[in-house]
Chain A
Amino acid sequence: MAGPLSGIIRYRTLSKWVEGSAVIKRAGHVPNIRRFAYRHPPGRLPGFLAVRAILLGAGGGMGMSSQPAPFSKPSSRLLTLWDVVAMLLVIGALVLLAQGSRGLMQPLPKPGFGAIGLDPSALPGYALHTSLRMLAAMALSLLFTFTYATWAAKSRRAEQVLIPLLDILQSVPILGFISVTVVFFMSLAPGRMLGAELAAVFAIFTSQAWNMAFSFHQSLRTVPKELAEASRSFRLGSWMRFWKLEAPFAMPALVWNMMMSMSGGWFFVVASEAISVGDTTVALPGIGSYIALAIVERDLGAIFWAIATMLAVILVYDQLLFRPLVAWSDRFRFEQEAVAAPPRSWVLTALRRSRLVSLALTPLGKAWRWTYRPPPASAKSRPVAHRKIQSRQAAWLDRLWYGAIIAVCLAALWRIIAFVLEGVAPTEAGTAFLLGLATMARVFALITLASIVWVPIGVWLGLRPRAARIAQPIAQFMAAFPANLLFPLAVSAIVALRLDPDFWLSPLMILGTQWYILFNVIAGASTIPGELRDIGANLRVRGWLWWRRIALPAVFPFYMTGAITASGGSWNASIVAEIASWGDTTLEAHGLGAYIAVAAKAGDFHRVVLGIAMMSAFVVVINRVFWRPLYALAERKFRLG
């Protein structure tokens, strides 16, 4: 038998033979699979075996492995195609980085849109700047995650403060954040672009970091007990344990959250590039400022060019960053069974197969492994007896700690209230509350509407694997696309048709976030076990009964995840959706988002802080009282298996 199939069959039988090796071993025949493989040099192995051999051999080249695995042999040519591709990618990235950061130390342009032009040929440059801001924010978020989440996971006392703090930070409206922090950042590098850039990057960071930190913390807390015991019993130091066990274990969830963060981040990148606080308007070079200028000049054509550029940027990010990362993190998957089709990425393959890259990484790998060596004084791991003493003083220290936390919280609360009352009358809080109710009503109504529309469609798509395969990436793409690029189109229509802003501005809030509901429901429907569907067909369950008993309960947990994300996103979007302008006309709906936006534009910090505090309070209360119990119900009652 010839061809790739023979290779597979021979490999399979050989491995089973090796397993039952006891009898054969004692008789003196030690099976050696390496001998079989060397009969076919890697370059000419058929199909399956070739790919497997190369991936096994080169798979160790990325990350933290030591020596080339037995299967790979040095190629006879000096430079392969993959080397060229990898070089182009790496050097191209460096060049772009250099070009983008050239403008950092330039002096600030005069306030207003002076430095921005509406010429479409400037768009690639602007796209570059926007992307770089996103990357910088992502790097910052990663750094934050590794330090903050690790600290919270290792120290019980720190955890009691850090995790609720993270929860609150997640609920604070991001765009409200900008107006308060931009002045601080501009003062760090007065008169230069760097300050404004820092402010924008910080705003994007606040939209990305929190869920990454949560996910990393959660993973650190759920490291499998036996792996942790194995690490300790082999006397791995804590640094080595972190990089060999804890970080790899957390990697798949972290990468997934990074992707979610990046998708949600484009919205804030665009919104934070044209910062106007009080009299200051800073327009950083980027797609956001381009759009802002186009709105002022009522240039519909420019808006279309911007949308097209944004589509291209997201596609490029997807290919060059998203997919390679997801494919790379598949290596760290903890479940031991092989899943249907592991994700693939041509970028990752190029980097893995290129010899130049692995040559460059080897000295880095050696240096990294050098950090693993045990401390020279042959120190024992922290003596176990030490912990016994701590438990007695622990109760005392706990009380002190709680007292300190309460004191700090009270002080902060007093400070905030004092600041707000300086500039506004106490009755203003009542106004803000009523406006918050209006926004809340809008958000709930829109989520309900979006659910009624998208849940049936999502279930229909999810039950058909081919349709799901096409639809899910599209829905994810739509979720990533910043909806605020589409706002000017809608606003110009509303102005032209003289529609009521209170009613017609509302759908803008859900425009970008409804896709979360859709792709989560698609994911949920596609994982309904085949047996449940078969039983439904077998017992001829149809119509509303089928929906009520089979489809809806099965997708309910996934729907909850989508709805919670959509709700949070809508609150954030309300700040830019409830007040919108086209040229000279400004449309304003009644709501808390408009309140904050107006106050920020006027530079009235007291009202801004009041608005932000009110919105955070609303989001936190709604989460605790409504979303969390529902989510717990979904987990408890509707979890499959």
Chain B
Amino acid sequence: MDTLDITPLLDIRGIRKSFPRPDGGELLVLDGIDLTLREGEIVGLLGRSGSGKSTLLRLIAGLSAPKAGSITYLGNEVDGPPPGIAMVFQSFALFPWLTVLENVQLGLEALGLPPEEIRRRAIQSIDLIGLDGFESAYPRELSGGMRQRVGFARALVVHPNILLMDEPFSALDVLTAETLRTDFLDLWSEGQLPIKGVILVTHNIEEAVLMCDRILVFGSNPGRILKEIKVELPHPRARLDPLFRDLVERIYVEMTTKTDAPAGKRIERFAGTGIGTILPRVSTNLLSGLLEAVAAAPYGGEADLPVIAASLHMEIDDLFPVAETLQMLRLAEVEGGDIRLTEEGRQFAELDTDQRKRLFARHLLNYVALAGHIRRVLDERPEHRAPWSRFADELEDHMSPGAAEQTLRAVIGLGRYAEVFAYDDQTHVFSLDNP
């Protein structure tokens, strides 16, 4: 590696981004992000949904402005969408009323190039990406993988310096996604792509290790970089390679390690005491299912997270909320990349339905503060009824209205399973009725 000091393509320092809350406060989404992108590298932003990585990508693309900090692209401050940065979207973002050729030409038309050159470059780009012959097809005639190829062609045809990719393969089936990834990596390694650097946002750990040279692991609440991990495996990378698996394990450990939260900051992962904790909406079927899966052979109550995730085909966005809820209920513990059932968790897996519900109800009322609070309020009131708004207003003191609704819906699901209270969605009323 040469030691010359090259100006980085992108230099981000101390970015903070917040959204205003309806009650006047602010919700901090990104807190103190530093990132540098140099020529010839693919940087991955890896984290769960809601950790601010897509927000960061849109800040880089100039689609919104940071509250504090600076974004410098090729030495200039980013102030609106800069030329030379192009984006590929998760849902392809193709215009349904334009053909493939017209979609690809869109960016070039906005640059005001002569028509012959627009056409020539567009056809070249379509050819490069493997869609030659489909120029006059409409997006509704194409499959998901082909539509994303059009998205790539459209981004590459403007010869950007930086390519931003927002979970580009997560809307595709596994086989198509793999095909596109390997095609992209082939073109990148052969130097056939006109781009100099790539930033990839993903929530799939294996995809990040497969594609990126550097991975920035994000945490949520608020979004910040937990760790930077360098991937120095040579291309093409194999998923079964022991070094590959080591890296995956390392990232799981990174994302499940408890840290002592400094005073004043909200605890990031898997803590949950006061009623101000945001609960994820998890079906009780999934909770039972994961408990049974971990309790069964070959894990016997203790499982390595990447292994069980792979065997259940769950990504971190599916697995972590379930594990988090189990941890909150003290039915399991998650630490150092492993999930371990507690004594009650092992019992739960053996019991029948009624006994399970009783055990679940005990844990729910003891350990999930919001559920206990709802039950207490209902017990105290003479008619044992309380409206949704009574609890929603209380929650909105601690979190945004959207998070309050999600948390309340989550606790309704858990409470209905445990049969500790009932809820009527027509009248929006909690009660102790037995329907």
CB within 8 Å of B: which residues of A? Answer: 18-22, 25-26, 30-34, 56-57, 60, 65-67, 69-71, 224, 226-227, 229-230, 232-237, 240, 244-245, 248, 331-334, 336-338, 369, 372-374, 380-385, 387-388, 637
| Residues from chain B with Cβ under 8 Å of A372 in the complex | 109-110, 112
Residues of A within 8 A of B55 (CB): none
Query: Taking the nearest CB of chain A, how far is it from the CB of B312, in angstroms?
Result: 27
B133 at the interface (CB under 8 A from A): yes
Bound complex: CA of A20 vs CA of B80, how far in Å?
38
B101 engages A69 (CB within 8 Å): yes
> In the complex, which residues of chain A have a beta carbon less than 8 angstroms from the beta carbon of B90?
226
Given A18-B133, A369-B115: 4 more A-B contacts, CB < 8 Å: A70-B136, A234-B154, A337-B140, A384-B65
Give B93-129 as 1s and 0s: 1 = Cβ < 8 Å from A's Cβ atoms.
1011111011001110111100100010000000000
Asked whether B14 is an interface residue with its Cβ less than 8 Å from the other chain, the reply is: no
CB of B86 within 8 Å of the partner chain: yes
The reply to whether B426 and A384 contact each other, CB–CB distance below 8 Å, is no
Chain B interface mostly: loop
Contacting pair B65 A240 (CB below 8 A) = no
Q: A233-B63, A236-B110 are in contact. Are A331 and B81 (CB under 8 A)?
A: no
B244 interface hit (Cβ, 8 Å): no
A384 touches B146 (CB 8 A): no
B417 at the interface (CB under 8 A from A): no
Provide the residues of chain B in CB contact with A230, threshold 8 Å.
87, 89, 93
Please state if B63 and A32 are interface contacts (CB–CB under 8 Å): no
**Which residues of B line the A interface, CB within 8 A?**
58, 61-65, 79-81, 83, 85-87, 89-91, 93, 95-99, 101-102, 105-107, 109-112, 115, 119, 130-137, 139-140, 143, 145-146, 154, 158, 176, 179, 182-183, 186, 426
Q: For the complex, give the distance between the alpha carbons of A76 and B81 in Å.
A: 48
Interface centre among B95, B97, B135, B145 (most CB of A within 10 A): B97
| Cβ contacts A to B, 30 pairs, < 8 Å | A18-B146, A21-B179, A22-B182, A30-B132, A56-B99, A66-B102, A67-B119, A69-B136, A70-B135, A224-B93, A229-B93, A232-B63, A233-B61, A234-B154, A235-B83, A235-B107, A235-B110, A236-B106, A332-B96, A333-B96, A336-B140, A337-B140, A338-B140, A374-B110, A380-B79, A383-B79, A384-B65, A384-B80, A385-B79, A637-B426
Taking a contact as CB atoms closer than 8 A, the residue among A71, A232, A331, A369 that contacts B109 in the complex is A369
Question: What is the CA–CA distance of A387 and B112 in the complex, to the nearest angstrom?
Answer: 27
* In-complex Cβ contact of A66 among B87, B115, B139, B143 (8 A): B115
With a cutoff of 8 Å between Cβ atoms, the chain B residues found around residue A31 in the complex are 133
User: Is A60 in contact with B136, judged by CB distance below 8 angstroms?
Assistant: yes
B62:A384 contact, CB within 8 angstroms = yes
A21 touches B130 (CB 8 A): yes
- Contacts A66-B119, A71-B136 given; indicate if A382 touches B130 (C-beta within 8 A): no
B135 A69 Cβ-Cβ under 8 A: yes
In angstroms, how far is the closest chain A Cβ from the Cβ of B429? 16
Report whether A33 and B81 are in contact in the complex, using a CB–CB cutoff of 8 Å.
Answer: no
Q: Report the separation of the CA atoms of residues A387 and B102 in the bound assembly, to the nearest whole angstrom.
A: 32
Q: What is the distance, in angstroms, from A432's C-beta to the closest C-beta of chain B?
A: 40
What's the nearest-Cβ distance from chain A to residue B90, in Å?
8
- Give the chain B neighbours of A381 by CB distance below 8 A: 80-81
* Separation of A69 and B122 alpha carbons in the complex (Å): 13
- Tell me which of B61, B95, B179, B186 has the highest count of chain A C-beta atoms within 10 A of its own C-beta: B95
Which residues does chain B contribute within 8 Å of A331, judged by CB atoms?
97
A336-B139, A373-B112 known; A233-B83 Cβ under 8 A: no
> Closest 9 interchain pairs by CB?
A69-B136, A33-B133, A384-B65, A373-B112, A234-B107, A226-B93, A230-B93, A381-B80, A22-B179
